[in-house]
Structure 1
Amino acid sequence: MNAMSTPAPQTVLQTAPSAFPGGPRLLADVGGTNARFALETAPGQVGHVHVLPCCEHPTLAAALRAYLALPDIAAVAPVVKHGAIAIANPVTGDHVRMTNHSWEFSIEAMRGEVGFDVLAVVNDFTALARSLPQLGEQKRKVGGGEPVAGTPLGLVGAGTGLGVSGLVPSASGWTALLSEGGHVSFAPVTEKEVAILQFAWREFEHVSAERLISGNGIELLYRAVAHLRGVAPEKLSAADVARRALDGSCSLCDEAIEAFCAMLGTVAGNLAVTLGAQGGVYIGGGIVPKLGERFGRSAFRARFEDKGRMRAYLANVPTYVITAEYPAFLGVSAILAERLGDQPAA
């Protein structure tokens, strides 16, 4: 294996059975730390996954070329003409400047630089939203409710930030929402959450939902809970807080994780009633899947339904944790297929 990449399990993500006439396609999921690349050799055949650290490449185009030059990739796909990239950044035009990394590029210029005929670049949560109808069994249900066919789907995910999106159905397929909903103002529900908000105001003039429901948010929640309990906080990362909560070694950490889950329930419930997401609300991002059964035992679902007169409505809306290893690949595959016009919208 090339030293520049980290091998990943060669997971095959199922979509459709027929072969591509135009050759393999590049799929990518780019974050601030790592860029994940894969080849789609035929619809439903996604593999050759490699993870390249962003810091080891001066540009995204350089990372893309490095992936295509890897021996196993070059052997399977000596020429690639089509690609789609999901990126953790707003994509509002041709020019993309990453907010959590130094990469900055023109989509059209990069397309020419790497020799592609077609290159689609979309926000990562737009891609994740497009994956929802294709997840199949790659999700875990939390709580009750059953999906209503032909209705919107909601998506929220906590990781480095708080991503929000959704899918709206139409006669021609699904439309993914280009949302920045993680930056809405945080809305406390309990007296304790009011106190947490007041603590957060010491650091931030505007406290968005993302300030508390994210990796950095878990660290802030831990400090806030320690302050409310009159205890001096340790210097803990979000991973430290989650680990201590899960192994039962720190009650403050467990309280912070419980607050995180409850707040996420509020945001997910808000999204459900805003979109009319009777098809379900999906939870993505890197944090919740790692909480495992602790998330299922948390206040998430109770808080999701806690909307007064809308309680019965929300009790019928299912919530799911996305368990697919690389769900963004499913989404960018669907987006690229639609761009090339070789399959109908799923």
Structure 2
Amino acid sequence: MTAQSLQTPPIQTTAIASGPRLLADIGGTNARFALETAAGKIEAIEVLACAAYPTLAAALVAYLAMPAVAATGMTGIRHGAIAIANPVTGDMVRMTNHHWEFSIEALRREVNFETLVVVNDFTALARSLPQLSASQKHQVGGGVAVEGAPLGLVGAGTGLGVSGLIPGKDGWTALLSEGGHVTFAPANALEVAILQYAWKEFEHVSAERLISGVGIELIYRALAHHTDMPAEPLAAAEISRRALAGECTLCDETIEAFCCMLGTVASNLAITLGAQGGIYIGGGIVPKLGARFDRSGFRARFEAKGRFGNYLAQVPTWVITAEYPAFVGVSAILAEKLAVA
């Protein structure tokens, strides 16, 4: 990918005393890298396919050798932070949706960094939420945010990420959540049928099994089985494309079911956290659905909580439209780490 840069709000160009910092956002499909060359100035953004590299270290080293990095004129990178789609509970990290595994300390030594922070990707994304501008998010439905209230975050891509921000006297605390792996809860007879089909493949059907890229493919197969329609071996991207193009009724029904299921997960998160500050939708799938998501049953399902329907009607829901928001969050986490070092 061609190198890009972004300026995070508020605009700052103050030099960083400790030198440039490496930032990374690692998903199950793509590894995104960038350099923070000054406070709030993120440059040399490159997206590498995870499948093209045997290890994260190999991808990181390849990025550091790219012309875009050299073009910044920055050398002597000593500090870095990685947001990764995986639980981070100790030194060893084993990705859930990709084969990479590594020791944080061994990786730090391999790339000769003084500091290497590794955090869950949705923890990093959550940290970016208060800094998103109006142009970097799109509201779906009604509701008005309550200032100083908790924020919720959920996003579907290769997997299903969940996090949140809890306010405190010293600022926000990002949740280290693996909420995408909660047990899937069907909300109607059709979703019961989808769940029953999924049980043929998985003993435990988590929310992530259905609300993700591979989940779209599973929903498609389940609906084809339920309606006695032939199912083609379609990837999630093709299912979405056909749905958006109006070429396939079954594909459109698949996307509709996906959006409604996401509405259930989002509303569960809202009432669990008391997220009256709003629920944010991230991940790689929903932003690409555009107006189809707006007119889907997502928001109606979000508010369909019986006695708590009125409560949820007041909670706003936003789709994150910023291209690389996780960089903003992981930058903030690294800055805090270096400040107390």
**TM-score in terms of structure 2 length:** 0.95
**Alignment partners' CA distance in 2, 1:26 and 1:72:** 13
Please report how far the alpha carbon of residue 74 of structure 1 lies from its aligned counterpart in structure 2 after TM superposition: 2.9
Q: In terms of mean alpha carbon deviation, does 265-274 or 19-28 score higher?
A: 19-28
2:71 counterpart of 1:66: no
Pairwise CA distance, 1:66: 2.2
Aligned partner letter, 2:130 = P
Match of 1:101 among 93, 98, 101: 98
Matches of 1:69 and 1:210 in 2, distance apart? 35
Partner deviation per Cα, 1:301-327 (whole Å, 9 max, x = no partner): 010011111111101100000001111
1:74-132 C-alpha deviation (Å, 9 max, x unpaired): 35211111111111111101111223333222112221221212111011111111111
- Cα distance in structure 2, aligned partners of 1:169 and 1:57: 39
1:88 alignment partner in structure 2: 85
**Partner of residue 222, structure 1:** 220
Q: Distance in 2 between matches of 1:79 and 1:134?
A: 29
1:337 counterpart = 2:332:
no
**Partner residue in 2 for 1:42:** 38
Aligned counterpart in structure 1 of residue 264 of structure 2, from 263, 266, 281: 266
- Residue 92 of structure 1 aligns with an amino acid whose one-letter code is T
SS in 2 for 1:216: helix
Whether the 8 Å contact between 2:6 and 2:41 is mirrored in structure 1 is: no
Distance 1:99 1:233, change over 3 A: same
Cα distance 1:186–1:55, how it changes in 2: closer, same or farther (>3 A)? closer
Aligned-pair distance for 1:165?
Answer: 0.8
Residues 147-173 of structure 1: CA deviation (Å, up to 9, x unaligned): 111111000001111111111111111
Q: Which amino acid aligns with 2:163?
A: S
Which stretch of the first structure deviates more once superposed, 146-155 or 106-115? 106-115
Please tell me whether the aligned partners of residues 15 and 43 of structure 1 are also in contact (alpha carbons under 8 angstroms). Answer: no
Structure 2: how far apart are the matches of 1:337 and 1:73? 21
Where do residues 28-39 of structure 1 align in structure 2 (5 Å cutoff)? 28-39=24-35
Q: Structure 1 225/55 Cα, relative in aligned 2: closer, same or farther at 3 Å?
A: closer
Match of 2:17 in 1: 21
8 Å CA contact 1:14–1:45 kept in 2: the answer is: no
SS at match of 1:11: strand
Match of 2:6 in 1: 11
How far, CA to CA, are the matches of 1:227 and 1:63 in structure 2?
Answer: 40
1:112 aligned to 2:109? yes
Q: Secondary structure at the match of 1:32?
A: coil
Q: CA deviation at 1:188?
A: 1.1
Percent of aligned positions with the same letter in both sequences?
71
Is 75-84 or 249-258 further displaced after alignment?
A: 75-84
Q: 1:144 is matched by which residue type in structure 2?
A: G
Q: Which amino acid aligns with 1:276?
A: G
Counterpart of 1:154 in structure 2 is 152
- Structure 1, unpaired ranges of 5+: 1-5
Deviation, 1:296, is: 0.3
Letter in 2 for 1:68: L
Q: Are residues 1:194 and 2:183 paired?
A: no
Moved more, 39-48 or 102-111: 102-111
The one-letter code sitting in structure 2 at the alignment partner of 1:241 is I
Q: Is the 8 A contact 2:97 2:159 kept in 1?
A: no
Per-residue CA deviation, residues 238-279 of structure 1 (Å, 9 max, x unaligned), is 111111111111111111111110110011000000000001
Distance change (3 Å), C-alpha of 1:43 and 1:262:
same
Aligned residue number for residue 3 of structure 1: none
Quick one: structure 1 residues 307 and 71, their matched pair in 2 at CA, closer, same or farther if it must change by over 3 Å?
Answer: same
Alpha-carbon deviation of 1:228? 1.9
In structure 2, the gaps of 5 or more residues are: none
Match for 2:182: what amino acid? V
C-alpha distance in 2 between matches for 1:283 and 1:132? 11
Report if aligned partners of 1:111, 1:118 keep a CA contact under 8 Å in 2: yes
